[in-house]
């Protein structure tokens, strides 16, 4: 791919991201303002639209388990790996930002290829993170307050029910298309102020988030014998940057989590650009 082709391909992704940052810096846009719309309206609609009637249950299960494995591996790495490290990683290593990074990237720069894959992957991640939190806190009520859970259940129901979804898609697709842009505006607004680029822990977290995702993703791709298109989306999802907990859930994030999430976005943008520019296929390494 030529440099100009790369710019043309990646600009639909970068422009809303930069716009969100600019609005936060110069117009006072607060990412918390967008959080309710993004988490309670846009994300559930995108997940439902991506899986309902578009994936087989077997494939949905494989992809969700892959996402779960990536999240679990990240959590174990955070729990036990920090004992061996001089510079500690933050717990955002276990939460790849598939929802607000990979999904809009696939939608806007990859022609929508792999959206169902990334959505199923994300569902596995979210369920795993919630299960871990439930085990640690004993609080079962948090997950039932999350709209994405009901969107997922409804989407799975429509996998089994032979229902013509064309009218449903015609109704919600305009909102879904707008959601991809809003995800990036939200992510861009979150990046301001840009802190953490001098924080060693942020870079350690990003490094292990990407390495862990790459290894687990590559193993899953080969064990499950996934097609090249699905494998590509799995790897892009596995290579998503860390996500601060307060971006995805109704919870607080420490400064370390937020710094890692911000630095991770910049690193992952560069990584995706390198993959597109060089034609490297990390999903076909093994």
- Tens-digit pLDDT profile for residues 64-77: 999 999 999 999 99
**265 vs 170: which has the higher pLDDT:** 265
Whole-number pLDDT of residue 100? 95
**84 vs 279: which has the higher pLDDT:** 279
Q: Is 244 helix (H, G, I), strand (E, B) or coil?
A: coil
Q: Which two tokens stand for residue 236?
A: 């892009």
Element (H, E) at 261: helix 255-278
> How far does Cα 161 stand from its chain's mean position?
28
- For the segment 99-118, the average pLDDT, to the nearest whole number, is 93
Query: Is residue 286's pLDDT more than 80?
Result: no
pLDDT in tens, 28-43: 998 888 998 999 999 9
Whole-number pLDDT of residue 251? 67
Query: Is residue 250's pLDDT more than 80?
Result: no
> How far does Cα 115 stand from its chain's mean position?
11
Confidence of residue 247 (pLDDT cuts 50, 70, 90): confident
**How many helical (H) and strand (E) elements, i.e. helices and strands, does the chain have?**
12, 0
- pTM for the model stands at 0.94
Q: What class is the 3-284 domain?
A: mainly alpha
CA 92, 110, 101: angle at the middle one, nearest 5? 20
In percent, the amount of the chain with pLDDT more than 70 equals 98
- For the chain, the domains span 3-284
Confidence of residue 197 (pLDDT cuts 50, 70, 90): confident
Q: Are 265 and 131 in contact (CB under 8 A)?
A: no
Q: Are 89 and 236 in contact (CB under 8 A)?
A: no
Confidence of residue 1 (pLDDT cuts 50, 70, 90): confident
**236 vs 137: which has the higher pLDDT:** 236
């Amino acid at each position: 791919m030529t440099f100009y082709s790369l710019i043309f391909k990646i600009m639909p992704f970068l422009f809303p991201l930069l716009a969100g940052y600019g609005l936060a810096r110069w117009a006072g846009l607060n990412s918390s303002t967008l959080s309710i719309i993004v988490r309670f309206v846009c994300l559930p609609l995108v997940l439902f639209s991506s899986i309902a009637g578009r994936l087989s249950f077997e494939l949905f299960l494989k992809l969700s388990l892959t996402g779960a494995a990536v999240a679990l591996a990240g959590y174990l790495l955070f729990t036990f790996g920090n004992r061996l490290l001089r510079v500690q990683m933050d717990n955002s290593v276990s939460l790849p930002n598939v929802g607000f990074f990979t999904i809009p990237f696939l939608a806007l720069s990859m022609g929508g290829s792999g959206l169902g894959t990334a959505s199923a992957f994300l569902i596995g991640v979210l369920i795993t993170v919630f299960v871990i939190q439930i085990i640690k806190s004993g609080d079962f009520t948090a997950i039932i307050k999350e709209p994405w859970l009901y969107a997922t259940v409804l989407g799975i129901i429509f996998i089994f029910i032979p229902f013509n979804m064309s009218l449903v898609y015609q109704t919600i697709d305009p909102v879904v298309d707008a959601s991809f842009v809003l995800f990036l505006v939200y992510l861009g607004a979150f990046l301001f102020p840009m802190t953490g680029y001098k924080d060693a822990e942020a870079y350690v977290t990003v490094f292990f988030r990407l390495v862990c995702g790459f290894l687990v993703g590559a193993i899953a791709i080969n064990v499950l014998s996934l097609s090249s298109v699905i494998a590509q989306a799995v790897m892009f999802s596995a290579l998503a940057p860390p996500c601060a907990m307060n971006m995805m859930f109704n919870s607080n994030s420490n400064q370390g989590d937020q710094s890692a999430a911000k630095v991770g976005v910049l690193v992952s943008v560069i990584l995706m650009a390198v993959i597109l520019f060089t034609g490297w296929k990390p999903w076909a390494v093994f």
